A and B are shown apart, each in its own frame.
Chain A
Amino acid sequence: MEIDPFIFRLSIFILAIFVGYYVVWSVTPSLHTPLMSVTNAISSVIIVGAIVAALAGENSNIFDTANIFGFLAIILAAINIFGGFLVTHRMLAMYKKKKKDK
């Protein structure tokens, strides 16, 4: 008897929810805003789907409707990826400890 690959993906999904649960509870509350911006950035990994969709089909017809939606999704996800990681970086750079010698 063979197991449907869907079950494997479902296992990954469920386990990742648990990982997420424990990891996020350990995030310090003062970093909740960077947490939101970084989760924003990483959820834009949806861009891999957009890339596949955009580059699908033969070269003769790269601007099929399906491709266009793919390209649009690439732009949106790219805004998010660059914007999300950079703004997170900008925020995290501001968190400083008290200077000991002063």
Chain B
Amino acid sequence: MSANLLAVFYLISGVLFILALRGLSSPETSRRGNLFGIIGMIIAIGVTIISIGNFSTGFIFLLIFLLLGGSIGAFIAFKIPMTAMPELVAGFHSLVGLAAVFVAISAFLNPEVFNLGSPGNIKIASLIEMSLGAAIGAITFTGSVIAFFKLRGLMSGSPITFIGQHFINLALGVSLIGLIIYLCNTQQEYLFWSLIAISFLVGILLIIPIGGADMPVVISMLNSYSGWAAAGIGFTLENSALIITGALVGSSGAILSYIMCKGMNRSFFNVILGGWGATEESSKTVSTEQKPVKNGNADDAAFLMKNASSVIIVPGYGMAVAQAQHALREMVDSLKKNGVKVSYAIHPVAGRMPGHMNVLLAEANVPYDEVFELEDINNDFANCDVAYVIGANDVTNPVAKTDPQSPIYGMPILDVEKSKSVLFVKRSLSPGYAGIDNDLFYRENTLMLFADAKKMTEEITKSL
């Protein structure tokens, strides 16, 4: 196959990948979009194999490894519970990162195959591209592994900070640039390995200071990094499918992190510098004074909701932890039988990754046209009888609107307090992740339901 024809096919798969993302603009077209993505991938892999034309020993190994990886991937995809989606995505990001590192190493060791020159005499431009690809890939790999550990609970979700953290990160960042320049001048192999080793370290250091509830930003950021790593490799290999995909994924991740930052009222810079830990510390001073709380049980809650004409459900990470989405759907079903109008309100940063709550609700067969985003539903709280807050906390805290001293001041919140009554399912009065007391607990119209989210929801369903 001629190089030109090959390039055309890569371009076609690039376009198919664009269509795959385009399909996600609505659930109806999304499935077709996914199909476009698959076709694009088959074209890219198929023409690559044909262009090499080596149908001997190597080809057989290729098939074996492809099927081996493929069956592992397929097995994971079918087995994974929907609640584990954040760590799955983090895990997948790490694989993209590591694959980018491996391809870069391979290109460095054997540049002739990719027309990049000979070992010790690689074209400077290619060397820069593969160094960047390898470095970003390595950062993505270790960063995602740490994120995976934190999400999976194998590592404490609380931020790990130490003195001089930012200084060390800065020094390592500068040394990475220095190494790349030095590498271009000398073409020494050990420089390339040190570059990768330091990048691995940077990836770890970037993510350890970040706490569990900031994971939506981290995951999106790593998503973006994996894209830029792919693009870097794409430039090295002069492959347009890879360049287009890298750019798409890179900007997609960047936009998602931007949306997540907006959802938490944090600046983009704050995020990129990994400067979270510090703000958390100062806010840990929670007032311990006892304020009166109204405490209710399942029967009270059932009574309130049965007699309501409209109920808005506000799910959060606690719902995912308690796996309460199915119980919640059953409760809503019985409410609907009683003629109650029910809708769901999703805060952008609810859960541990963008769209986390939507997937869980979809899994529980909640129709997606009953699920609304913050800006679409926030005005409805004023007209609703009961808001049922299950597993959410900081995203409902009115302090974000009233107290400029609060760390979450300015964060967009769901105006739960405007509804006639609020049912707040929570295990205890402990503050949310941000360490701030939720004013909502002590309001006249709030009824606290102290229990596990799933158990409480099931009990309410029984008493309905």
Contact = CB atoms under 8 A, between A and B. Distances in A.
Q: A and B: partners? A: yes
B362 A96 contact: yes
B143 to A, nearest CB: 15
B9 to A, nearest CB: 10
Contacts of A12: 240, 243-244, 247
Interface in B64-94: 65-74, 76-78, 80, 82, 85, 88-89, 92-93
Interface string A63-102: 0111101111111111111111111111111111111000
Interface string B221-252: 00100110011011111111111111111111
Q: Is the interface of A mostly helix, strand, loop or mixed?
A: helix
Interface string B245-271: 111111111011001000000000000
Interface stretch (B50-58, B146-154, B176-184): B50-58
Nearest to A64: B110
A96 B367 contact: yes
Contacts, number: 377
Contact of A70 (B68, B102, B373): B102
Contact of B246 (A43, A51, A77): A43
B61 A81 contact: no
Interface residues on B, range: 35 or more
A54 B64 CA distance: 12
A66 B41 CA distance: 24
Given A35-B21, A69-B105, A77 B69 contact: yes
B66 A78 contact: yes
A80 B93 CA distance: 8
A65 to B, nearest CB: 6
Interface string B348-384: 1000011110110011010111110100000000000
Interface string A29-73: 111111111111111111111111111110100101111011111
Contacts of B56: 59
Contacts of A37: 85, 88-89, 92
B99 A44 contact: yes
A73 B95 CA distance: 9
Interface residues of A, number: 83
A35 to B, nearest CB: 5
A86 B37 CA distance: 11
B95 A77 contact: yes
B219 interface: yes
B106 A17 contact: no
A74 B52 CA distance: 15
Contact of B250 (A17, A23, A57): A17
A54 B61 CA distance: 9
Contact of B52 (A51, A72, A86): A51
Given A41-B41, A76-B98, A77-B95, A92 B26 contact: no
Interface of A: 5-6, 9, 12-14, 16-17, 19-21, 23-57, 59, 62, 64-67, 69-99
22 contacts: A9-B240, A13-B234, A13-B244, A19-B248, A28-B26, A29-B346, A33-B353, A34-B34, A40-B226, A53-B110, A54-B61, A54-B62, A59-B58, A67-B110, A82-B70, A83-B77, A87-B77, A88-B34, A92-B30, A95-B362, A97-B27, A97-B369
